Structures are given as C-alpha cells and as structure tokens.
Structure 1
Amino acid sequence: MVSSCRRWAYVTSVALGLLALTGGAFAIGQETCVAFKSGQSTFPIVSNRKATPILVSPDEWPGVQRAATDFASDIQQVTGIKPTLRNITTSNLQSLASLATNAIIVGTLGKSALIDEVVNRTKLDVSSIQGKWEAFLAKEVSNPLPGIKSAYVIVGADKRGTIFALYDHSEQFGVSPWYWWADAPTTKHSDIFVTSSGCSHGSPTVQYRAIFLNDEQPALQNWAMEKFTNGTGAALTGSPFNHFFYTKLFELILRLKGNHLWPAQWSSAFGVDDPQNQALADWYGIVMGTSHEEPMMRSIPVEWNLFGVGQWDYGTNQQFIYNFWVNGTERAKPYENMFTVGMRGNGQNIQLLEKVVSDQRQILMDVYNTSDVTHIPQVWTLYKEVEGYYDDGMRVPDDIALMWTDDNWGNIRRLPLPSERNRTGGAGVYYHIDYVGDPRDYKWITSSQIEKTYEQMSLAVARNAVRIWVLNVGDMKPYEMHTEFFLTLAWDADRWTPANINDFVVSWAQREFHVSQQDAVEVAALIHNVTRHNMRRKPELLNSTTYSLVNYREAETIMDEMNNMVAASTRLYNSLPVNAQAAFFEMVHHPIQATATLTNMWIAAGINNLRASQARLSANDYATQVENLFLHDAELEKNYHTLLDGKW
C-alpha cells in the first residue's frame, strides 16, 4: 500500500484532473444541458412552482410511455412539483390551446405521430440521428403545434434512444440511476431549466451493453426471496427472480444506458420462473440473452433438468436437444433477443459443434419463417475451452458475433486480429468483476479496479470488439460504481482517457453523496486504494502469511493504511446528511470497513502463530484480537442488514 504522502499526491492529481471535466457533477460522461436558474436561452421545466406539461403520442412505444412516467416522477422528486403527462393525438391538436403555451414533447421518429407532426411543421433537422441506433436529440422549438408557443422536444431515433434521452435529463436534474438499488438521495431544486440548444448523443460505442447476474446464490437469491416473493419462489424452480424483481433491474439498466441482460441462472430460468419476465423485458426495452453456456434462450442446466430427456450430449441425444431448442426459440420469438449459439458440455468436438450451430441456424429459419437469419442477433462466446475450439479451426457464420473473454481475473485473453475485424457480426467481450470457479472464487467484496477495466476495454475498442460487452456482476452489490463505469464506457468510450477516468469517480461521489469537491476527491482516493489493495490479493485468497511479519514492517504498514482508510471513511460518513449515509455505507464505507477487518484479522492471526511458535505470552493478545475482529465483522453484517429497516 502507498505511503500517506503518496496517497495524498494521488488525491492532488485527481483534483487537478477535475479541470478537464466536460460535464457537471450530475452528468457523468454527458454534455450538460440543464440549469437551475433562468438564463437568456433557457426553457423552463419547473419555474415558480409551475411545471411544464409533458406530451406523448398514444401510438408511442410502451417502453417510452413508461419512461415518460418515470421522467415526470423524477421531476417531482427533484422539485416537489409533478408535471402533467398527457397523451395527445394529431386529431385532437385543438385541445392544446387550453393546455399551456409551453410543453415538453417526447417521442420516437417514425413511431410517434406527434413527433412526426412537429418535425413536419417546424422542419426540425433530425438528420443527425435519423436511422441511427439509440441516438437522440433534444432542443427548444418554436410554434411546434397549434396553441404551443414553444416546446422542448425530446426525440429518439428509436425507442431506446428516446428512453435514454429521458433518463439522461433525469440524471442531470438530480436523480441518480441508483436511487433505489443503492439508496442514493435525490438532489433537490426549486426550479429546473434546460438550455434551448439542448442535449444530443449519437449511436453508442458498443451496440449491446449488458450485465450478467451470476454467482447469485446465496446473497441475491435469499434477499430476493424475502423481498419479492412470499418465501416460496417459482413453482418449478423455487427461484425468487420474478417480474417484480426484474422490472426493478430493467429500469436500472436503462438508467445506466445499458440495453441487454443475461439473467440469473444458477437455480433460475428466466422464461419459466415468471411468464411475465420475457414480455416485460421487451416492454421496458431490454434486449434479452442467455449466458455463454445457455443456447437458444433456454436456461441450462435448470430447464434441461426440468424438461430435458436423456444426456446433454448432442452426439447421442440430438433430437431431444433440438426440440428443446425449438421450444426456447418459439418462446422468445415475439421479443427482442440476442441468441447464444454453440454448446458447452462433455464429449464435444469441432465437427459436432459446427453441426450444432448449423442446426441452431435452421431452427431460427424455421421459427422465424425466413431463409435469411443474418438479421437475427446471435453470439458465440469463446469462453474457456470454447476458445480452444476456435483456435483449433472451428468457425461459425460471419454474421454471428464472436465474444472474446477475459481470463476470469480481468485480463482479456485474446482480441480480434486484423483479419478478424471485418466480420459482419462483429466482436465483443465478456468480462468479470465477480467470479466463481477454478482456481478460486472471488465474489465477496469489490476487488477490481476501474483503471484495469478501462485499460482492457480500451484495447477492445481499439480492435473493434464493440458489438456486445457483457459484465459479470455476480449479485451486483457492492459493484455499483464499477457496473456504472463499465456501461458508461460502453456508451461513449471516446469521452474517457487515462487522464480523466478518475474524474468519473469524483463526479460519481458528488452525485451519489452530495459531498463537496474536496470530499469527493477523498472518496475517489479511498476507492482507488481499497480496490487496489483487493486487486493485489483478492480477499478470498488472503491468509496469515500474505504480508510479511518480519520484513520491512510490511504487515504493520498494511494495517496502518487500512486503519487510516477506515478513519477517513468514518469521518466522511459522519459528515454526511442522514439521507446520504445509507448510500455511502453500501458503496464506500462497508467495503472499506469489511476489507480492513478481514485484512487485520489475517495479519493478527499471523502474528499470533508467529509468537506462539516463539513461546511468547503476547500470542494470547493477538488471539483475542482475531476473535474481536471476527465479532466486528459480524457487527458490520448486522449493520448492513438493519440498514433502512432491513431493506438489504
């Protein structure tokens, strides 16, 4: 661990880096178009206790309609004033005369008759977004509709473009994407304005930006069982991951500008556990997939154990497995998906696996009634032994995305060579910040650095592996900040450089905890140091001899720095307003305290062993320290579980 003077040198460098910030504290990685005082070229969202009404067309995408409801609620959370949200058709525009002279008009090009009417009447230039994936623009427009003198028009190129535009504004208003999942307080303002020139964003860097709920047992599963079910779970699987759980997650993903999900799968089956799961994912605007080991939208091994017949071996049980995949494809057909292809399992060989993919393509042709499946998103994940098949010569059709993977410890094993970068299906990356498997698990506490993630994923961008990125987040907590960083980088990689990635943490701390810039810089330093400490040796791999007890005062130095981090985090926690303390505890204070407790406990155990071998009575003192630290760890767990009346 660095010395105190080096730590504060790091803090100073972060502070200087703030000079390069392109957005405000509530616009992480975005252009700012929100103000809280009226200016010469501003449009009122809420002013003098009056909210501008929001207009949406009834033929708009359901997910946009729903996000517009969130948008109105977000404005109310910030200002205490809730704007009217109205469906307006082009046939009753005369009703606008009695509504207001100003309006916020929201919609999607080619889907919203209201937006198309505004574009036709005002000749609004939408060429910068038209036909582009998930792009949006927003700006003030004069006389857009009869009776409306001026409107702030929020236009998406497609349904998620519109949804992202709404949530982009909500975040700038003061609503954190983590308002529910990490209890981040909303920033209060009496007035909200937007600049007349508004905000805009082109297509994101990465087309499909996903998280993967994995290693979800026991923490996430037991918690969801208590909070979202009556304690029994789904009828066939016992899984608690129903639509009440997933709709919370869908909203979070969209607020973070993600668009894709690999659902929980240890003892769950997304399409079986709750018949509303798939329909609501599509309704919200989430593209669904399944993990690297779950072909054709079926949960493996859970669904195979329920419905399969015989062995999971295509060489000996082809027809039953084929029919199993047909069912999964038919079930998913009404919705937006990316199909995992290939097959993992014992006894596979290249010739058989190429037949597997060929047969899976035939299933897509039959179910979708088409001879051309190149327009159906598909991905083949080159994970562990599967990469070996590719290296040995196995190939899949050009339109299937190749997803390269890390080594489970944050080092991408391989990226596309120049000869592999012109595939129509593109390439992507499957990346871990949580892992269960050989040689050892790590899933307890935050132990990956965003600096490392930035370095590795920037290599992916440079080599055009930008079709799909999936982040294994385990049971998600306490990986909130890292999850957001990954999706933010995927949304717009060009905005981030080695010189400003720590500005992300500073802005994040200001948004989440409402701290001063100086305290936000200290939060960034704490997160940098605790994640570096845990990245150097994962907590699950610590033991009583990890740090030397006899050379260079290494163990003592580590203990001092752990204790200094706890002291700094405690000072910050105690200085926060009450409504920000829960979020700080979950995302900063608990990870630091838990890390320090575990590290100090192992070091004390090492000193106890050393002094016992020397027949020194002081060994007993260190035995007592270990016991006390063990009890302190239990107390931290209790504090977490009683937070906010037991929410977590």
Structure 2
Amino acid sequence: MSHAVSRRTLMGGAACGAALATLPAPLFGADPRTAPDPRTAFPLIAKAIPAAVLIDADADSAVRHVATNFAKDLERVSGASARLIDGASGVVQGPVVIIGVLGHSAVIDRLIAAGKIAAADLRGEWEAFRQIVVDDPMPGVARALVIVGSDRRGAVFGTYDVSERIGVSPWHWFADVPVRRQRDVLIPAGSRRDQPKVRYRGFFINDEDPCLSGWAKKAFGGVNAAMYVHVFELLLRMKGNYLWPAMWGKAFADDDPKSMVLADAMGVVMGNSHHEPMLRAQAEWHRHADQGVTGGAWDYDKNGANLRKFWRGGIERMMAKGGGRHYDSVVTVGMRGDGDEAMAEGTATGLLERVVAEQRKIIADVTGKPASETPQVWALYKEVQDYYDHGMKVPDDVTLLFSDDNWGQIRRLPDPAAPPRKGGYGIYYHFDYVGAPRNYKWLNTNQIEKTWQQMDLAYRRGAAQIWIVNVGDIKPMEYPLGFFLAQAWNPDAMTPAAVADYPRAWATATFGPEQARAIGEIVTQYSQYVARRKPELIDQDSFPLGGVTPKGLDGGEFGTMVAQWDALEARMLTVRATLRPDQRDAYYQLIEFPVAAVANLYRMYYGTAWNRRLASKNDARANYFADQVETAFRRDGELTQRYHSINGGKWDGMMGQVHMSYVIWNDPTKQTMPSIVRIGADTPEAKRRQQPVFVPTPATQAGIVALEAPAFSRARDGKGLRWTTIPHLGRTAGAMIAMPQGRPATRAEDGVCLEYDVTVAKAGPATATLYLVPTLDTFGHEGSRIGVSIDGGAVQVVRAALEPTGGDTDNAGKARWADAVRDNGVAMSVGLGSIAAGRHTIKIWRLDDNMVLQKLVLATIPVPPSYLGPVPAV
C-alpha cells in the first residue's frame, strides 16, 4: 500500500511511510490521477458492494468489536451491508478483509507459514499493525486485505485506520460527521506497517457537570455503559488506548459494572485521575458504609487500615476477570487530599513514600506477582510535584506523570542528565480546568500550535510513556483532542509543516475538499482569537475602548477585536451556505456554534462597556448599546437552544455550561445579563438620533516600532539549532522557536539569534519589550532566559520566572503567572539606553530552550497601556 503512504506524506511533509497515520487522509481512489492500479489493488468496495470481513472463531473480543464496526463502516460508505464471517462458520468467497492478531489467528498464521505475509517485525511489538494486500490467500478468494496486529489493539488500530482512510471520521457519531458514499474503493497493492511512539495515549472526562452528565442522563439514563460504548469507540478510532473516566460524584466501576467489562472487551486501558489511587473512584470512599468500607478521614496517619482495605478492593476488582487475568488497567498510586485538594500543609515526602510502598504491597499480594509487573503511574500534580522536587523517591518501574499548570504550560520535564527509568515519564495536559484564576469549561479555547509546542518539547525531553489530556465534557474539544492524539501516535511526524497543514487536512476529512482550506482558516483564526483571553475571563472591562471624540466613538482595541469576530462570523456563514444539508449538523457543532457564540459574547460585553461609558456622561447614545446588550443576551440563549435541538435533540444539555458574568473563579449560579443603564426617552425618533458614529482607531504613534516575531531580517542558526516560524502561535502572526526543542542552553557566543532591522522616527531612551508565549522553566531553576542587544552592544539577559500556583497576588511571581495565563502572553522589558533617530538592528538571542517569541516592540516614548499592544486592525 505504498501508494497510499506517498499520498499521506504529501499532507505533512514527513518521509516515513506511516508518519501521519492518524491525520485524515484522502479517500482511497478519490482522485483519478492517483487512483490505484485495479489490476493489483484490492476492491474494498466494487460497484457499491463491500468486501466481506473475516475473523477467527475464537477472535479476541476487541477484534470482534472492531470487525463489527468495520463492517458497519463499509455499509456507511457503500450503502450496502457487509458480511461479517466467523472463521468457524460461513463460506468465504470473493474479496475479503481478514483481521487478526499475530500468534492468535489461525487464518493469519497459515498465511505467514505459506509465505504470504512477512510479520517478523511485528512480533513482541506494542500495538503495531500491518495492512497488506494478499493474492490467493485461501480457496475461493482471489485477493484479500489482511490486517494483522502485533497484539489486539494493533489489530484494532490497523482496522480503524482503514475506516478513516475511506472517509469514516472518528467523530461520525460524536459530532455527526457525515460519511460520503462511494461506489468503488480500491486499496493499493503492497504493505504498510505502523505503530505508536507514545505508549499510553488518551483523555480524562472531567468537570462533567452540568453538561456531559445532564446530556448522558437524558440520552442514556446516566453516565453508564450505554454512554461509554460511544466514548470507547471514539478513543479507539483516534488510536488512543487510555481513559480516565468521569469522576465528580461518579464511580466508573461501581455506578455500572458493565462499563469496566466493556472497556476491557473493546481494548481500552482504564485508569483513574491523579487523586483516585488504586482504581478506586473518589466518590466510592463515601459509599457502601454497610459493607465495612466507610469514609471517615482521608488521612493515612489516622485511618490507614481503612484506606488500605479500600484500596485493596480496587485491585481485587481489577483481578475479577478470573483465571489469573486482569482487566486492562494502569494503576494510579500516591495520594492527594479528599476531593482533589492538597494534603495537609507540611506533609512530608516520607509519608507519600510510605503510602506508595503500602499500595505496592497490596498490588503484589492481590495479583500474586511483583508489583513491577502491574503498570502504575504517579501523577506529580500541583503540590505533589513539590514533594518530588524536594527529593521524594519513586520506584523505578512507576511512570512519573508530570503536569502542566492547568492552562497549557508544562511545569516540569525529565532532566536529560537523569538516568533512564523503567517506568518512564508522561504528561497530564489540560484543555479544560476548574480553578484559578478562573474556570474555563464552556468551549474549546486551545490552539493546536501551542499544544504542539509543549508536547513536542515533552517528547524531545523523554516524556513518551503516557500522554493524557483533560477534555472536560469531550465536546466541544473535538478539534484539539483529535490533534493531541494524532501527535501522540507519532510525535516525530508532527513537524511544523504538518502542524501548519493540519487544519486543512482535518477540514478535508470532516467536510470534504471543496471548502477545506476556508474551513481550516476559520478554525485556526477562531482558535487564535479565543485563546487571547478565554471567554469566562472576558467582561466589559477586559479591553480598552478608544474615546468619545467630536467626530464619533473610537472603539479602541476592544472595537478592533469585535470587528475581527464580526468578520470571522461572516466568513463562517458564507462557507455554511455552500455545504450540503447533511453536513450542517456537524458544521454547527464544530464551527458555527463556537464562532457565533464567542462573537456574540464579545458584542455583548463591548456594548456593555460603551453603555456604561456613555451613561456616565448622561449621553443618550448609551441606549443604543443597551439594546445591543439585550439582543446579544437573547441570542446567546437561542444559539444554545439550537445546539440542543439539532439532530432530533441528540445533544440536549451538552452546551448547558454557564459562561458569563463571572465575579470569582468559580461558576456563577446562572446566566445573567450584564447590568445596563438607559438615558432619557426611548421613542423611535430618540433611537434614531442615538445611532452612534464610529471613527477609526489612531495608528501607532511615532517613537514606537512594533514587529511580529516572524518578520525578522535575518536568522542566525547554530549549535544544531534552526529558527523556525510557527504561524498563528500566540495572539497575532505567529511565533519563533529554535528547533529542535529540548536542546541544552546556548550562550551569546554561539551566535543563535534573530536580527530585526528597524527605523526609529524619534530619538530618546529606548525600551525593548519582548512579548512571549507563556512557558515555564521545566527544570525548576530560577526561570528561563532570553537575550536582547542593539547595534552590536552588550547582550542583556532577560529572565522569565512565573509561578503557577493559583494566581496568589501576595507573591509577584504568582501574580505574573495569573496575568500571563489570562492574557496568553508574557511581556518583558529591558532598557537599551538612548538611541538616535534612524536605522538600528535589534538582536534576540536564544539562551534557554522553551522561550517562544511572538512580538517585539521598540519604543522611545511611553508604550500604550494595552497588555500586548493593539491587535492588528481588520
């Protein structure tokens, strides 16, 4: 199948055959210019008749599940049912797809023995697969597509890979993405092998009330196996294998025991979140008092015996599969406070070490094997990382799971000088969060460019055992979640070129090629705009207005942002008008609703800002904006109601998150319109006279030179590093990174720098302000460094030191962190002395890794107060 591989390579610029296996691919045979040779290709669908699907009579349950779903996928594409053949029954004739596991499939083992399949490079591998077209595999079959897995999940992923390539999106159920009908689908002759580079890849359903929980109750009667079957299928179709289940007030294995059985049957590895050790849900601690497992104090010193009994029950349940086998799991060890809180102040690392030692004794005792033979993870989340930093000892076979700061900046990574660990390292990342400086749960506010930068850094630094991301309710994180798992499958293939092309490729797979580029641009622009400040952090005071002038109202930076959202919404509606009716439900969920809802929210708060400004001056134009606020508030409800009614109400409740009028970090109790003020009469004639006139925002003043980071004059590479532009990363044009990431610090003498030629109109004392994409010092030192110089002068070192601990303004580092995550930017200024008007050259020096420059401002006058400078006007 080398032909398909070469076409996929065009998508991302990666050379290895399986490089972008989780990125959406063109349909097989969709382009007649690159259609496979029918004389040697496999006819998966011929004249609307699909091939049969064959599995062994004793096939693993995961293989049986995927074969059943694959047969349904063939029906979705062809319009005709596909025959599913059990190896022990039914005559095999005509084209057939054979699915099985190396060493566990009599059919496949016979093909290997006959020399029809080469599989030595699969033996003993983790989740590897080969897809190969085989001639004359058995009597009555002229040609077959054989999908062989090194293990059961390898067979699953190899099969779902074909489903995606023939146009069945992983989101066909979870986002109503339609499947395009095809009468003929040919699989090119040849062989294709692939396997993941990150061992455990998945997501965490969290903060699921009121949305996912309310939706599941209406749709399935609760968060139960009937719901989870769709979650498991989604995860596996994206080639993920690991899940932390919904947890607030819920207990995965206790609420519905069928959920645990189904997960294992389908091939999903189950775990629990960072504060739910030993496969016990936090909610279980407060249940079943009549069974002798009471709640009591979640305190190991005071209640250790009861805790050990509770934890033992979790491992016993894992082993309940029988026959010495266990349900496929990764056991979380360690301990946090009850309800995802920190443990008592002053907790010693020794106590945590003792807790883990006792937990491992339980694991060994119940399984009858050394604890090291059961996969375990210790999540170094929040204060637990501090214990690790202070020398907490962790058994070598336990995976250390580092975390971000809950806002997308990874806090710590393995020290390259540290010896290898058997359990390796992983990353717990966030697309959703409940906590300071404010919750963000409503919509996707994540840039894939930022996710890529942080996770690429993690991979280069050796964190490749577990990647798991907090996705809240799953919806509406469809786009970044697909990207996250694509990168996890093969981080090496997710090059900057692949990142840049991902939006178009995703849109092609989701909506077809006709509007793919336009849709890709819309989702990219949306992601950048919404990441500037998350919706829950926006109100009428978030951005500066211009002023009230004799000629009209100057909207200022706030007005520029609203204009950008207006323009984006207009583009979104233009594309919608070109889509087929069967595409519009998916478009509403993935594109239309988030764009329209956030644009509407900006207009509501912009109207509030002007209403209050004008009302304070007794200016009757305030009433125009009062109307705007009321209209926007009503429209917010209408947009939500439409979401809940699409596809016969399939997603009723999923967008029920309160998302406006926050006053503290936590959710308001209900949607509340901002307060407005009306001035004087409100007759139609009065309203006509109250129509405001807007005037353009003045351009930047002389004495200020603002440069986007990618607009450099020269890039000086060295020490194996090359400056690379990452378009759209950050607030405006993009950002600059010295790649590959994960390399040691450099010195100014190494000459790795960016040069910017500037012309200064006004002489004076100069200040250079660097605007960086927020990042953290992953070594835990005193912050990360970058250098600045002008006209060949001395290099001045600037150090970014943020402390991600909840935005406590009593500490300057913590306060800066809260500002940085709120505004998605870090501003650092340095004085350069007095300079003359005229031409100058500024150099930005790469010193430490993970410093991402997005903008540079040179000023010889005071800089306007806007945090990151005015956004570009539309």
- What TM-score, normalized by structure 2, do the two folds share? 0.68
1:319 aligns with 2:272: no
Inter-partner Cα distance in structure 1 for 2:361 and 2:559: 64
Counterpart residue identity of residue 525, structure 1: E
Equivalent residue of 2:586, what SS? helix
Equivalent in the alignment of 1:545: 541
Counterpart residue identity of residue 298, structure 1: R
Equivalent in the alignment of 1:365: 364
User: Pairwise mapping of residues 174-185 of structure 1 onto structure 2 (< 5 A)?
Assistant: 174-185=167-178
**Which residue, out of 105, 115, 120, partners 2:113?**
120
Q: Deviations over 1:431-464 (max 9, x none)?
A: 0010001221101111110000000000011011
Equivalent residue of 2:302, what SS? coil
Equivalent residue of 2:541, what SS? coil
Equivalent in the alignment of 2:518: 522
**Which residue, out of 402, 406, 425, partners 1:404?**
402
Equivalent in the alignment of 2:210: 218
Equivalent in the alignment of 2:229: 247
Q: Name whichever of 157-166 and 73-82 sits farther off.
A: 73-82
What displacement does 1:500 show?
Answer: 2.4
Change (3 A) 1:18 1:42: closer
Q: Name whichever of 587-596 and 112-121 sits farther off.
A: 112-121
Inter-partner Cα distance in structure 1 for 2:401 and 2:14: 33
Q: Deviations over 1:245-291 (max 9, x none)?
A: 00110000000000000000001000100010111100000000000
Inter-partner Cα distance in structure 1 for 2:152 and 2:543: 53
Inter-partner Cα distance in structure 2 for 1:38 and 1:457: 36
**Which residue, out of 193, 197, 214, partners 2:190?**
197
Q: Which runs of 5+ in 1 are unaligned?
A: 1-16, 230-239
Equivalent in the alignment of 1:236: none
What displacement does 1:567 show?
Answer: 0.5
Counterpart residue identity of residue 55, structure 2: V
Counterpart residue identity of residue 297, structure 1: L
**Which residue, out of 625, 628, 631, partners 2:631?**
628
Inter-partner Cα distance in structure 1 for 2:203 and 2:494: 20
Inter-partner Cα distance in structure 1 for 2:529 and 2:395: 43
Inter-partner Cα distance in structure 2 for 1:423 and 1:30: 34
What displacement does 1:122 show?
Answer: 2.6
Equivalent residue of 2:523, what SS? helix
Inter-partner Cα distance in structure 2 for 1:474 and 1:258: 17
Equivalent residue of 2:405, what SS? coil
**Which residue, out of 635, 638, 641, partners 1:638?**
641
- Does the Cα contact within 8 Å between 1:121 and 1:145 map onto a contact in 2? no
What displacement does 1:142 show?
Answer: 2.6
Equivalent residue of 1:493, what SS? coil
Q: Deviations over 1:314-345 (max 9, x none)?
A: 01000000000000110012201000000001
**Which residue, out of 278, 281, 288, partners 2:263?**
281
- Structure richer in helix, relative to its length: 1
Q: Which runs of 5+ in 2 are unaligned?
A: 1-9, 320-325, 338-342, 548-553, 652-874
Equivalent in the alignment of 2:488: 490
Inter-partner Cα distance in structure 1 for 2:568 and 2:25: 33
Equivalent in the alignment of 1:580: 583
Change (3 A) 1:152 1:32: farther
Inter-partner Cα distance in structure 1 for 2:50 and 2:411: 52
**Which residue, out of 521, 526, 533, partners 2:529?**
533
What displacement does 1:534 show?
Answer: 1.8
Equivalent in the alignment of 1:130: 123
Change (3 A) 1:119 1:30: farther
Q: Name whichever of 626-635 and 76-85 sits farther off.
A: 76-85
- Does the Cα contact within 8 Å between 1:52 and 1:104 map onto a contact in 2? yes
Inter-partner Cα distance in structure 2 for 1:296 and 1:605: 50
- Does the Cα contact within 8 Å between 2:503 and 2:520 map onto a contact in 1? yes
Equivalent residue of 2:43, what SS? strand
Inter-partner Cα distance in structure 1 for 2:444 and 2:25: 29
Equivalent in the alignment of 1:297: 279
Inter-partner Cα distance in structure 2 for 1:33 and 1:107: 24
Equivalent in the alignment of 1:80: 79
Inter-partner Cα distance in structure 2 for 1:28 and 1:296: 32
- Does the Cα contact within 8 Å between 2:12 and 2:497 map onto a contact in 1? no
- Does the Cα contact within 8 Å between 1:205 and 1:491 map onto a contact in 2? yes
Equivalent in the alignment of 2:843: none
Equivalent in the alignment of 1:144: 137
- What TM-score, normalized by structure 1, do the two folds share? 0.91
Equivalent in the alignment of 1:619: 622
**Which residue, out of 20, 23, 39, partners 1:29?**
23
**Which residue, out of 571, 584, 609, partners 1:606?**
609
Matched length: 611
Equivalent in the alignment of 1:11: none
Larger radius of gyration: 2
Determine which structure has greater relative contact order: mean sequence separation of CA pairs < 8 Å that are 6+ residues apart, divided by chain length.
1
Inter-partner Cα distance in structure 2 for 1:38 and 1:485: 28
Equivalent residue of 2:114, what SS? helix
Change (3 A) 1:49 1:644: closer
**Which residue, out of 511, 514, 523, partners 1:513?**
511
Q: Deviations over 1:538-569 (max 9, x none)?
A: 11111212111127821221111110111111
Q: Report percent identity of matched pairs.
A: 40
Inter-partner Cα distance in structure 2 for 1:513 and 1:457: 27
- Does the Cα contact within 8 Å between 2:504 and 2:517 map onto a contact in 1? yes
What displacement does 1:144 show?
Answer: 2.4
Change (3 A) 1:474 1:603: same
Equivalent in the alignment of 2:332: 340
Equivalent in the alignment of 2:392: 394
- Does the Cα contact within 8 Å between 1:122 and 1:144 map onto a contact in 2? no
Change (3 A) 1:421 1:523: farther
Across the aligned residues of Structure 1 and Structure 2, the Cα RMSD in angstroms comes to 2.0
Equivalent in the alignment of 1:3: none
Equivalent residue of 2:97, what SS? strand
Q: Deviations over 1:344-370 (max 9, x none)?
A: 013342111111000000001100012
Change (3 A) 1:609 1:31: closer
Q: Deviations over 1:188-224 (max 9, x none)?
A: 10011101114321x3121000100000000110010
Counterpart residue identity of residue 251, structure 1: E
